[in-house]
Amino acid sequence: MTPAATPDTNGTATSAGSNGATDAKGASVVVNAIAVLRTFTADEPLLGVTEIANRVGMHKSSVSRILATFEQENLVERDPETKRFRLGLGLIAVAGPLLAEMEERRVAYPVLRQLAEQTGETSALMIWSGDEAMCVEQIASHHQIKHTTPLGARYRDAMSASVQVFLSTLPAERVRELLRSGTITFPGLDDAGLAAYEARLQDVVRRGWAGNYGESSMDEVGVAAPVRDHRGDVVAAVLIPAPRFRVSKEQFESLGDACVAAAAKVTTRLGGRPAS
């Protein structure tokens, strides 16, 4: 049966079914464009058309059209030597207003600077976007050899210290869903491993900070502590990533304590009350 025609605002008869199909197609184009942008990461900032197409499951010609549009708007730029693409400066104009209005980022900045000076290691502020931890501010270590967490870097590894902090605030059912679906990566997850991980998250709550001593990357350690707002909700996490060779187990505990103290300062600046 042909869909009934309905008048538009100018009185012209249009097909309701046709409009719905057009809307759906438009939404699909937007989703595909966002998927292309999300393929770029701090670890892989340069990507070719074929690489992107394989990752998003799209035809190369479609990816090329999306990239061409992004290039016109300075959302991506082409490396002159390799002809591969990287994110462009135009994204700063898009994200700038959000970052400027992000209260957690603004009040955390001086605390992060002090923390980096105190520990000699990188300090960062992480937020939770529903299924991943994302860096929104960073003060890099002054050491030549260091671990950094670039702005926009996203983490989904179950052993990542910041991911542990955020997962420890979620209902157990939601944690299991994220792990079993693979949204949060946990290689070789089984029932015993899940139970052990849930106990680990309970320890994070009791101790007040999460640790990752070379568990997600052999060369790196990380500690993270929760930041709370005036309602007592965890809205961010302070993270200290550092090279493993420079951090003994005793120093690891000290970094955890320093991270908790810094997170408490940010919490207080947000009008919250640090956990006792």
**For residues 88 and 14, what is the distance between their CA atoms, to the nearest angstrom?**
40
For position 5, what pLDDT does the model report?
A: 45
Q: 178: which residues sit within 8 A by CB, 6+ positions away?
A: 131, 167, 170, 184
**For residues 140 and 59, what is the distance between their CA atoms, to the nearest angstrom?**
39
State residue 50 phi and psi, 5-degree precision: -65, -40
For position 13, what pLDDT does the model report?
A: 46
For position 99, what pLDDT does the model report?
A: 55
Q: Which helix (H) or strand (E) holds 200?
A: helix 191-207
For position 152, what pLDDT does the model report?
A: 85
Output the six-digit token pair for 158.
């179950």
CA angle 24, 55, 124 (to 5 degrees): 100
Q: Please state, in angstroms and as integers, the Cα–Cα distance from residue 210 to each residue in 22, 89, 200, 203, following that order.
A: 48, 34, 9, 8
Are the beta carbons of 266 and 104 closer than 8 angstroms?
Answer: yes
For position 12, what pLDDT does the model report?
A: 43
Output the six-digit token pair for 243.
């090279």
For position 74, what pLDDT does the model report?
A: 87
State residue 113 phi and psi, 5-degree precision: -60, -45
Each residue's pLDDT expressed in tens, for the chain with a length of 276 residues: 444 444 444 444 444 455 555 566 557 889 999 999 999 987 788 999 999 999 999 999 999 999 999 999 889 999 888 999 999 878 866 766 655 556 788 889 999 999 999 999 999 999 998 899 999 999 999 999 998 888 888 899 999 999 999 999 999 999 999 999 999 999 889 999 999 999 999 999 999 999 999 998 899 999 999 999 888 899 999 999 999 999 998 999 999 999 999 999 999 988 888 876
pTM for this entry: 0.68
For position 168, what pLDDT does the model report?
A: 97
For position 22, what pLDDT does the model report?
A: 57
